[in-house]
Structure 1
Amino acid sequence: MAGQRQFDEKQTLHRALEVFWTKGYGATSMQDIATATGVLRGSLYNAYRDKETLFLCVFEGYRDDFLSEAAEMLAHLDVDRALGDLFDFTITSMTEGIPPRGCLTTKTATDTKAEGPRIETALRGLLDALEKLVRERLSKEDARLRLTVSPAEAARVLVTMTRGNVVMESVYHDAERLRATARSLVRALLPAGAPVAE
């Protein structure tokens, strides 16, 4: 039927995600996607128009899955455990694969061929949503009374650290080093028994 996609879109987007994540946006061609998915390049163009639109469809699913899992990590009743679980999740995600695949968001943000308002809006959307999740968790009394800065400031610092970890991983290839640094930051922001001054 006209307008109906003649391929499994969910499976196609999943395989396209793997290619974008491994190679990066700029180094990925529509032929790479066609080869990985088994969908003819012409069919991909008919369905998505161009590589940027296809990437944004892929990124939307990635964002939803990432934020859902991040929210699950942050739901722990103990705030130290919640933040530790969040960093474990992000570090594990970026260090999987041979070679490690890194972080799709950060890889795209630093890709000079991934410029454009639509991609920038998508990246900001994920990071802003992650920051909101962290801020909401840190606004609960058990965290708020211990924070050395406001929940909003702490959330921004912590999310920035998740991005910085990607760069450090690419240099040191040491997941435990990343976890130790994250623990140090959490201790600095949430010292035990040190309520923030009014």
Structure 2
Amino acid sequence: MVGRRQFDENRTLECAREVFWLKGYGATSMQDIATATGVLRGSLYNAYRDKETLFLRVFEDFADQSLADTAQALAHPIIDHALHDFFDRAITSMTTGSPTRGCLPTKTAIDSKADGERINAALRDHLDNTERLLRERLSTDEARPRLAIPPAETARVLITMTRGIVVMERVYQDPERLRATAASLIDALLSPEPGAGDPRGRRPAR
């Protein structure tokens, strides 16, 4: 029956995710997925219709897990630590593997063969949701008084930086360089903790 799963779907989607993540959407074929998963190409087409639909199904699971991990990273009660944990999670993820796998959303966003509106919508939704989590964390009574710019703008700067460090990782392949850059940005966006003074004379965001 068309669409009926006659294979372990969870395992298949996990394997497909790793292939898309490592090779990129455009360079991945349905035969690559079939080889990696051990599922016949015809069965994949019956279940998912085409590569784009399969990718979107994979990306849905990826996005859900990524948001859960981001929320956990941002849960630290001190904003400095929360943002360091946020970047550390992202850097650890993108530098996993040999060769390193990079960032799935960013690799997809710059892939000229991944320009379908459904894929673009999924990418926007993921980035918007991640930005929302950052904005909510930055809007807390503990964090907001220490911001150099308002929470919404800070969140957008942080999201943009996470995309930029993906490119730097490709060039330098140096996780500690990425962490140092992230730490510099955090220092620029936050005033010192209460009681430490602010030698830079920066005012809290309104």
User: Considering the TM-score relative to the shorter chain, is it more than 0.5?
Assistant: yes
SS of the equivalent of 2:45 reads: helix
1:154 corresponding residue in structure 2: 154
Query: Does structure 1 conserve the Cα–Cα contact (< 8 Å) formed by 2:2 and 2:47?
Result: no
2:204 corresponding residue in structure 1: 196
1:20 corresponding residue in structure 2: 20
2:44 corresponding residue in structure 1: 44
1:3 to partner: Cα distance:
4.8
TM-score by length of 2: 0.93
Structure in which a larger fraction of residues adopt helix: 1
2:170 corresponding residue in structure 1: 170
Query: Does structure 1 conserve the Cα–Cα contact (< 8 Å) formed by 2:84 and 2:183?
Result: yes
Could you tell me how far apart the structure 1 residues matched to 2:105 and 2:97 are? 16
SS of the equivalent of 1:12 reads: helix
Give the gaps of 5 or more residues in structure 2.
Answer: none
The one-letter code of the counterpart of 2:204 is V
Alpha carbons of structure 1 residues 191 and 4: separation in structure 2 relative to 1, 3 Å: same
1:155 to partner: Cα distance:
0.2
1:103 corresponding residue in structure 2: 103
Could you tell me how far apart the structure 1 residues matched to 2:142 and 2:68 are? 23
Number of aligned residue pairs: give it.
198
1:93 to 2:93 alignment: yes
Moved over 4 A (4+): none
Q: Cα RMSD between the aligned structures? A: 1.2
1:106 to partner: Cα distance:
0.3
Identity %, equivalent residues: 67
Could you tell me how far apart the structure 2 residues matched to 1:112 and 1:178 are? 26
1:4 to partner: Cα distance:
2.8
- 1:19-62, Cα deviation, whole Å (9 max, x unpaired): 00010000000000000001000000000000000000000000
